Structure 1
Amino acid sequence: MPLFDQAPNSICFLRLSAIGDVCHATAAIQAVQRHWPSTKITWIVGKVEAQLLQGLENVELIVFDKKQGLSGMISIWRLLKGRRFDALVHMQLALRASLITLGIKATYKIGFNFKRAKEGQWLFTNRKISDTESAHVLDSFYSFIEYMGVPRSVPQWNLPISDADHLFAKEALGDKPTLVISPAASKDERNWLSERYAAIGDYAFECGYQVAICGSPAEREKKLALDIIDHMRHPALNFVGMTTLKQLTAILNKAAVVLAPDSGPAHIATTQGTPVIGLYGHSNPKRTGPYNNLNDVVSVYEKLVTQQHGKSANNLPWSTRVKGEHVMKEIPVSAVIYAFDRIAKGNHHV
């Protein structure tokens, strides 16, 4: 039996980070809005992630700045003082997020199943979803809304990107088909090699594409972009550190194809309906791959996780990672060219 047999008055979602997971949560929240348009939605979200979501239709965003620690939590509790939600949907396993729930009043506090809850999350919830089988994070987020009574639907996204942001992308990219390379993951060891990104960039250029490189203003990302361009025989546009998150989303929207490791931009591109070639070694692409392009992922995860743990991915905990600085070197250029050709010729499967 679902938790609600009619639309609840109010639901508070708690998912602070990271950008990819926030994209997955957006699909679930917008599915709730389509099914229960009268339900008031509040979302407690991280500061950086809020830059992408600002203006999300009919969603009250409450921003948590993790740098503020306890004082940031207290400010959220003050903001919500005197309010009670029909449900608090607690989609984050980190203890920091669980502590925030202590000051939020809700009839039901819904968390992960015991099998998947980490850092004591089950201590902070009074309802647990039954799902322990969903491979992909997005599907596990959908299990929360199904538990409440929202039927399963194909994920759809409507991110608030302005006409000005779309114009920025149009002026930046023109009308040429573009391969956008977003080369940086959250840690350097999860990046592919500069010369291999460059080889794909040159290959795409010779196939009639222009190449654009995107990323944040972090020095390591700027350095990586320059290193890729240095290795290329053909020119590439460099937008690293030069876009807001919404402008980046507009560029990813206009791209013909995106090449990225497991990172926020890969999932932002998915929200825009743009094909993504995901490069995976450290994390399981069945869990965190670009949702609409799981068949186009180039992955060495399955091989390496079996080598490191002596068991296949199916027989290991949901979030098992492969460790080591050598991992991404295992991904050959030829496999990425093969994926690129399939997408360019329209033979990939969504």
Structure 2
Amino acid sequence: MGGRNSVLLSSVVRILILKPSALGDVVQALPVARLLRRFHSGAEIDWWIESRLAPLLEHDPDITRLVLFHRQRWSAPWRWHEAVQSVLELRAARYDLVLDLQALARSSLVAWLSNPMLVVGLDDPREGAPAFYDVRVPRPSEHAHAIDWYLDVLRAIHVPVEWDFEWLPKKPDAAARLEALMPENGTQWIAIQPGANWANKRWPPEHFAALVKHVSSALSNVRFVILGGTTDRALGRIVCSAAPEMCMDMTGNTTLPELVECLRRCVVLVGNDSGPMHIAAALGKPVIAMFGPTDPRRTGPYRQTERVLQLDLPCVPCMSKRCRISRRMACLRDLSPEIAARTLIELLNNSRLRPRRTAEFGLQLDFPMIIP
């Protein structure tokens, strides 16, 4: 990148990041805001985010303003004038730089309509988004992780990538509540995440229950906290039924800041390809993740896919929200709870178990555990 763009980037004052959803995607994009703030310390950095996820970034030290995208509200035609007004406000902000990390038709159109000096986005052709960009950043390789793609966006605008920041700073109020609910007292708290956005990304809740029963009978100093949204409550009840006295069901009972602080108090998360999985990875917590239709090299727990459990089947990964084989969801149903439990027990018995420091995220990517 040279000429006019290089001159422009040296004098950036106002920046807009477009990454409205989903939870895990927003968490994975946060290093972009952290590194932009370090390089452009005096700039205003705004973030366009879906309103239901806004609590995650409220009072964030590196973000100047949250621009709310009311996805459900604005789906009604009689609310479209509110969406138009929001775009007009973005234009009035006169951004120097817009980074589209969503790379879909909606976000790219918002980027273009906001009329910045420069639009930079991911070169993802799915919905034609790159047509609206001044600078298109290709995926580093076919299997490159999403975070590494986002970091290449920074490199394209000459922002140094150094892992010297705190990914998810502590939220004191939320942390105080979780400290009261989850006293340590020599207890190792294990987070269980049985839900996921796609139904076919969910390891059967009965498998999670079997894991809880197996681990609680093998180790006396563990307790389990079951996480998820209100729609995951039925899953939570199934998991807790395996060892009710050892489980605390928090499904539907945490705000986003409380979810983060809950995971901060846990020693490990066992779960599906989901937002909480990415939060745990960002906190440097060990993650044992069950993968079926998706590719952990692209969207797994960052820099620790060695504990991803995935079956070696011809259809894996299908990258589809719907299972189309005759033995539905065999990729997860056939993934043994005993293997997951053994992996977890071995991890907990490791005396060197500790959270990963942010600087360690720059290390070489590991590979998932493929189970024949």
Question: TM-score when scaled to structure 2?
Answer: 0.83
Does 2:225 correspond to 1:215? no
Alignment partner for residue 315 of structure 2, among 293, 296, 308? 308
Residue 130 of structure 2: aligned partner = 122
Q: 1:84·1:105 contact (CA, 8 Å) conserved in 2?
A: yes
Mapped partners of 1:162, 1:110: distance in 2: 31
Q: 2:100·2:119 contact (CA, 8 Å) conserved in 1?
A: yes
Alignment partner for residue 84 of structure 1, among 85, 94, 118? 94
Alignment partner for residue 343 of structure 1, among 340, 347, 369? 347
Mapped partners of 1:7, 1:169: distance in 2: 43
Residue 228 of structure 1: aligned partner = 239
2:116 partner SS: strand
Alignment of 1:110-149 (within 5 A): 110-113=120-123, 116-133=124-141, 135-149=144-158
Residue 366 of structure 2: aligned partner = none
Q: 2:213·2:242 contact (CA, 8 Å) conserved in 1?
A: no
1:118 alignment partner AA: R
Offset, 1:260: 1.2
Offset, 1:254: 0.3
2:102 alignment partner AA: Q
1:45 partner SS: strand
- For structure 2, which runs of at least 5 residues remain unmatched after alignment? 361-372
2:239 alignment partner AA: I
Offset, 1:158: 4.1
Residue 103 of structure 1: aligned partner = 113
Mapped partners of 2:271, 2:98: distance in 1: 33
Relative to structure 1, the CA distance from residue 204 to residue 6 in structure 2 (aligned partners, 3 Å threshold; closer, same or farther) is farther
Q: Deviations over 1:49-95 (max 9, x none)?
A: 21211111141110101121444531321322433222111111322
Alignment of 1:279-318 (within 5 A): 279-300=290-311, 303-304=312-313, 307-308=314-315
2:49 partner SS: strand
Does 2:53 correspond to 1:20? no
Q: Deviations over 1:297-337 (max 9, x none)?
A: 1122xx23xx138xxx7xxxxx9448524231121123312
Q: 2:140·2:148 contact (CA, 8 Å) conserved in 1?
A: no
Q: Deviations over 1:195-214 (max 9, x none)?
A: 21112212332322111101
Mapped partners of 1:195, 1:7: distance in 2: 56
Mapped partners of 1:229, 1:81: distance in 2: 50
Q: 2:206·2:239 contact (CA, 8 Å) conserved in 1?
A: yes
User: Which stretch shifts more, 148-157 or 161-170?
Assistant: 148-157
Cα RMSD of the aligned pairs, angstroms, is: 2.4
Mapped partners of 1:342, 1:74: distance in 2: 54
2:125 partner SS: coil
Offset, 1:233: 7.1
Alignment of 1:243-322 (within 5 A): 243-300=254-311, 303-304=312-313, 307-308=314-315, 320-321=319-320
Q: Deviations over 1:100-130 (max 9, x none)?
A: 22420211111222xx331010122121114
Aligned length: 334
Q: Deviations over 1:255-274 (max 9, x none)?
A: 01111101111111122222
Residue 163 of structure 1: aligned partner = 172
1:192 partner SS: coil
Residue 154 of structure 1: aligned partner = 163
Residue 39 of structure 2: aligned partner = 35
Q: 1:210·1:236 contact (CA, 8 Å) conserved in 2?
A: yes
Question: TM-score when scaled to structure 1?
Answer: 0.88
Percentage of matched positions with identical amino acids: 22
Does 2:197 correspond to 1:186? yes
User: Which stretch shifts more, 320-329 or 86-95?
Assistant: 320-329
Q: 2:226·2:249 contact (CA, 8 Å) conserved in 1?
A: yes
2:16 alignment partner AA: C
Offset, 1:20: 0.5
Residue 182 of structure 2: aligned partner = 173
Q: 1:200·1:333 contact (CA, 8 Å) conserved in 2?
A: yes
Offset, 1:161: 4.1
Residue 316 of structure 1: aligned partner = none
- For structure 1, which runs of at least 5 residues remain unmatched after alignment? 314-318
1:120 alignment partner AA: G
Mapped partners of 2:35, 2:103: distance in 1: 22
Mapped partners of 2:245, 2:189: distance in 1: 14
Q: 2:16·2:47 contact (CA, 8 Å) conserved in 1?
A: yes
Mapped partners of 2:11, 2:310: distance in 1: 41
Relative to structure 1, the CA distance from residue 74 to residue 203 in structure 2 (aligned partners, 3 Å threshold; closer, same or farther) is same
Mapped partners of 1:185, 1:170: distance in 2: 26
2:32 alignment partner AA: A
1:17 partner SS: coil
